[in-house]
Structure 1
Amino acid sequence: MPIKAAILGVGNMGKNHLRILSMLKDVEVKHIFDFNEDSLKKLSEQYGVPYTTDAKEAIEGADAVVIVTPTSTHFEYFKLCAGKVKNVFIEKPLAETLEEALEIKALAEQHGMFVQCGFIERFNPVVTELKRVLESKQVLNADFTRTNRLSSRITDVDVVLDLMIHDIDLALFLNGPVEKVVAYGQRENGLVAFASALLQHENGSLSRVLASRMTEKKMRSIQVTTADAYIDAELVKKELVMHTQSSHSKEEDRPYVVSSLEQQIQVVPQEALLSEHQAFVASCMGNSPVNVPDIESGVESLRVSEMILEQINNA
């Protein structure tokens, strides 16, 4: 029996979720919901799925719900699902505030619900390979850079919750819990548009996270320094390169000769959104894929985000 799924919100991201879910043989999209009826009609005809402007109708009888509405509405739509739907996917961030995220977590535990947070970068094939490489290495420092000129559709959320939160999740994913934060930022039109933060992890490693909507160039990169290597991960071009010291020797005129090795690590092409939903569907069917960003991931990323914003606001 296929998973009966409802999609709440069919804006730009919602359309992408619909495209992917419609491809999966283990999924039947039972309803799409939005307030834009013209858009609903077009998508309904294109994908052959029912539509409704009533969220309660959309989730009725669903095995899974995918919430792709504005961040400020995530909490209300999740409450609508609580006790009625067993599996919920919520686009990042989990909620608008840490307080709401903690309430979502409490409701999910109360009703025995599985919740996946939409941190799509975890499913970027470069990140998948980077995680594998780092399992055998001691991370000293990781630099995360994410820049993009402000999109016209982003008018109500700062750069920390819009862009940086992806890398906050990756920092937690790669290096574990954070115990200390130092941050600063700049505002543009009343919202934080540039932010830089130093995260100190419980395991002793450091993460430096930078996000900007004031930069014209689009960048998505991770540079990791380990005890024996430097790893450069390019998330847009899907490239992963590791630099290591290969040998050293003594000579009379040159006491030490050190040579380095540059290794291009193979990255298997894969659409991250497809991998993300394959993991969600597997979880809905009772399997337990590794490295899935669960509700705890959503809560912890918001906890660190609020620590960063508090420091910026109090500067």
Structure 2
Amino acid sequence: MSKLAIGVIGVGYLGQHHARIYSSIDRVNLVGVCDTSISQGKEIAERYKTTYYKERGKLLENVDAVSVAVPTPLHYDVAKDVLLLKKHLLLEKPIAEKLSQAEELIKFAEEKKVVFQIGHIERFNPAVIISLPLIKSPLFIESHRLSPFKKRGVDVPVIYDLMVHDIDIVLSSVESKIKKIEAVGVPVLSKEFDIANARIEFENGTIANLTTSRVSKEKMRKIRFFQKDSYISINYLDRSVEYYKRVYKNGEPYIDREELDVVDAEPLRLEIESFISSIKNETPPKVSADEAKEALFVANKIVKKITER
């Protein structure tokens, strides 16, 4: 089977890692990269022994598929170009700024019969992968996603930049519709909300409490699932999982703690490998555009609730 011709559009903070990983995979050929910054584009192209394209249209003429890692406000326009040219697409989260844009992109992908995967990378975190089978009917979910301030991503509220990761994990873990959302947030160092907290209540009674900040002193990425007789704590950063469960010994209950044996791997590499496999095997992506649209819907609701306060 011939190698898949791949390109990367946007090789800044995250996109350059897409290029790095593609360049190391034997079953694909990294045809080129495209970036509005000529110096950055040429540097990444030289580093990974590929070609720099100033215009994305020229790159798209020579590839079967692309990763797109551009700022969120550009997602719709760039993704539309890719899909209408019948190219497979791995688009970084969120899928778009507006639901109407997400719906249009999904329609284009369906019409052109291409793989359209969204980069909700925590789905590919080995700690999450090993934990999901243990998550059954959680009663309470609590997440903390905190980061020191960086100028990257401040063109959108922190809900779209960071919290959307946890929204996606929560939605993939709870088999129920949302009943109610409450949220609060404030801008601190940018014009958008830099800190946010959301409380999501589901119709089945599950409650998720999500806290996100991009102006914190230290970096933290944790999510906890509390169930009737167990508690699962996932550390996204060091990819570790603590599993606590109630057991009985001599008729008496006690808490048994187990640190799960997580097979470490780079989540982005797993995500990209999954994208390539979906293309080659003609199978649906692990993170579909429809699921990403649902995460965007919830993120929009949270932003709306904060704005209305």
Normalised TM-score (structure 1): 0.92
In 1, Cα distance between equivalents of 2:14 and 2:28: 18
Which of these residues, 237, 254, 264, is aligned with residue 259 of structure 1?
254
Q: Indicate conservation of the 8 Å contact 1:86/1:112, yes or no.
A: no
Match of 2:245 in 1: 244
Match of 1:306 in 2: 300
Unaligned runs of 5+ in 2: none
Structure 2 Cα separation of the partners of residues 215 and 272 of structure 1: 24
The residue identity in structure 1 corresponding to 2:306 is I
Which residue does the alignment assign to 1:181? 181
Where does residue 124 of structure 1 map in the other structure? 125
Distance 1:19 1:50 in 2: 13
Contact kept in structure 1, 2:137 and 2:174, CA below 8 Å: no
Task: Tell me how large the CA RMSD over aligned residues is.
Answer: 1.7
Looking at structure 2, the residues matched to 231 and 178 of structure 1 have their Cα atoms a distance apart, in angstroms, of: 22
- Write the letter of the residue equivalent to 1:194: I
SS of equivalent residue, structure 1 residue 139? coil
Deviation of residue 169 (structure 1)?
0.6
Inter-partner Cα distance in structure 1 for 2:273 and 2:176: 27
Contact 1:7–1:32, Cα closer than 8 Å, also in 2 = yes
Partners of 2:258 and 2:152 in 1: how far apart? 40
User: What do the CA deviations read for 1:212-241 (whole angstroms, capped 9, x no partner)?
Assistant: 123212110011111110111111122111
Deviation at 1:297, TM superposition (A): 1.6
Report how far residue 199 of structure 1 moved. 1.5
1:111-166 superposed Cα distances (whole Å, 9 cap, x missing partner): 222210011111111000111222xx331111111011221223311110111001
For structure 1, the 5+ residue unaligned runs are: 251-256
Deviation at 1:12, TM superposition (A): 1.4
Deviations 1:247-297 (A, max 9, x none): 1556xxxxxx4322111111111110110000000011124377x111012
Aligned with 2:264: secondary structure? Answer: coil
- Residue type matched to 2:67 in 1? V
User: 2:3 corresponds to which letter in structure 1?
Assistant: P
Write the distance in 2 (CA, Å) between the matches of 1:288 and 1:144.
31
Which residue does 1:254 correspond to in 2? none
CA contact (8 A) 2:71 2:153 kept: no
Equivalent pairs, count: 306
Q: TM-score, normalised by structure 2?
A: 0.94
